[in-house]
């Protein structure tokens, strides 16, 4: 789960591995299918255990994500097929969920796969979740929304955070048959099944550089202790916590080359752009839209 986001335009300073081209499947005849799925892994479906989160156990009640503009193209950006509409999924729901199936895709390597996580609209389709989930997302203008509870001994903190960010995840790559592969590979009569995996632990990273990041919650809990002390952590409370003031034992919170990220609220919002992945631990280049 130790991957991050690299965005030249966004200047967040988060690192993703560079994509390399793959020639697997080029020159094949016929056509096949590409079936996109999504999954929230055990960290969302079950919990983030205390040994991962620095003594805190984090459990999600809901983890809503809106996918949009899923696209399959070749190295020259010739599009094979795309899903321009948006679909809402609750990643807390158990199991792998189908997003869209592209049929009759020419059999070859399609190196450029991209998707967006973007705010819900009135036209958003409920892929997994409820109409009430959709109404919440549309009214809030949210692309990602989490409802969770964190515990550490007798201390309990609840929070509902909605993020309005639009993020493009482009040139995705991941392991296919044990090989790091750009995009998808379509074989005659076959089906490639790329997964748009959501990583729920990334919202608690203490560094915007993947290799330095650890899952930590103490500074977030203290934001409520220093705020209204009602046991509910709000983004407003997080925004009042300056990164430079967080004690080293609760951090330190590193921003790398990112600019304009000075408080914990802005930091968590930046982390919300890193939850999208490809084929489990695979990477995409991510940028703000």
In-domain check, residue 22: no
pLDDT (0 to 100) of residue 132:
98
The answer to whether the CB of 150 falls within 8 A of the CB of 224 is no
pLDDT digits (tens, 9 = 90+) for 119-152: 999 999 999 999 999 999 999 999 999 999 999 9
pLDDT (0 to 100) of residue 2:
43
Report the C-alpha dihedral over residues 222, 226, 227, 233, rounded to 10 degrees: 0
In-domain check, residue 157: yes
pLDDT (0 to 100) of residue 209:
77
In-domain check, residue 228: yes
Q: What is the pTM of this model?
A: 0.90
Cα–Cα distance list, 173 to 10, 94, 96, 113, 245 (Å): 21, 25, 19, 8, 38
pLDDT (0 to 100) of residue 21:
36
In-domain check, residue 12: no
With residue 287 as reference, give the H or E element that holds it.
strand 283-288
The answer to whether the CB of 37 falls within 8 A of the CB of 192 is no
Give the domain extent around 135. 31-283
In-domain check, residue 225: yes
User: What whole-number distance in Å separates Cα of residue 18 and Cα of residue 15?
Assistant: 9
pLDDT (0 to 100) of residue 249:
77
Under DSSP, the state recorded for 48 is B
In-domain check, residue 104: yes
Q: How many domains does the chain have?
A: 1
User: What whole-number distance in Å separates Cα of residue 213 and Cα of residue 240?
Assistant: 22
The answer to whether the CB of 258 falls within 8 A of the CB of 13 is yes
Cα–Cα distance list, 178 to 3, 37, 115, 175, 181 (Å): 18, 19, 23, 5, 9
In-domain check, residue 87: yes
User: What whole-number distance in Å separates Cα of residue 254 and Cα of residue 267?
Assistant: 9
pLDDT digits (tens, 9 = 90+) for 197-239: 999 999 999 988 767 789 999 999 999 999 999 999 999 999 9
In-domain check, residue 241: yes
Give 179: exposed, middle or buried? Use CB within 10 Å, 0-12, 13-18, 19+. exposed
Residues of the chain with pLDDT under 50: 1-28
């Amino acid at each position: 789960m130790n991957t991050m986001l690299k965005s030249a335009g966004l200047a967040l300073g988060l690192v993703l591995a560079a994509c390399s081209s793959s020639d697997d499947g080029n020159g094949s005849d016929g056509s096949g299918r590409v079936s996109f799925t999504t999954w929230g892994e055990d960290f969302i479906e079950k919990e983030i255990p205390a040994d991962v989160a620095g003594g805190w156990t984090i459990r999600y009640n809901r983890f809503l994500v809106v996918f949009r503009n899923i696209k399959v193209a070749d190295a020259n950006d010739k599009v094979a097929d795309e899903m321009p509409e948006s679909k809402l999924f609750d990643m807390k729901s158990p199991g792998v969920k189908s997003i869209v199936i592209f049929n009759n895709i020419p059999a070859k390597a399609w190196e450029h796969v991209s998707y967006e996580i973007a705010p819900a609209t009135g036209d958003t389709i409920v892929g997994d979740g409820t109409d009430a989930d959709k109404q919440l997302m549309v009214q809030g203008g949210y692309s990602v929304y989490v409802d969770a509870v964190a515990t550490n001994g007798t201390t309990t903190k609840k929070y509902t955070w909605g993020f309005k960010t639009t993020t493009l995840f482009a040139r995705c790559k991941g392991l296919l048959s044990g090989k790091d592969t750009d995009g998808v590979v379509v074989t005659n009569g076959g089906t490639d099944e790329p997964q748009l995996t959501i990583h729920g632990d990334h919202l608690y990273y203490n560094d915007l550089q993947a290799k330095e990041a650890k899952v930590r919650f103490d500074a977030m809990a203290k934001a409520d202790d220093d705020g209204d002390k009602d046991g509910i952590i709000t983004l407003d409370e997080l925004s009042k916590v300056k990164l430079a003031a967080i004690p080293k034992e609760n951090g330190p919170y590193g921003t790398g080359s990112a600019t304009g990220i000075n408080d914990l609220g802005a930091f968590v919002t930046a982390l919300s752009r890193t939850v999208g992945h490809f084929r489990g631990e695979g990477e995409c280049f991510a940028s703000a839209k």
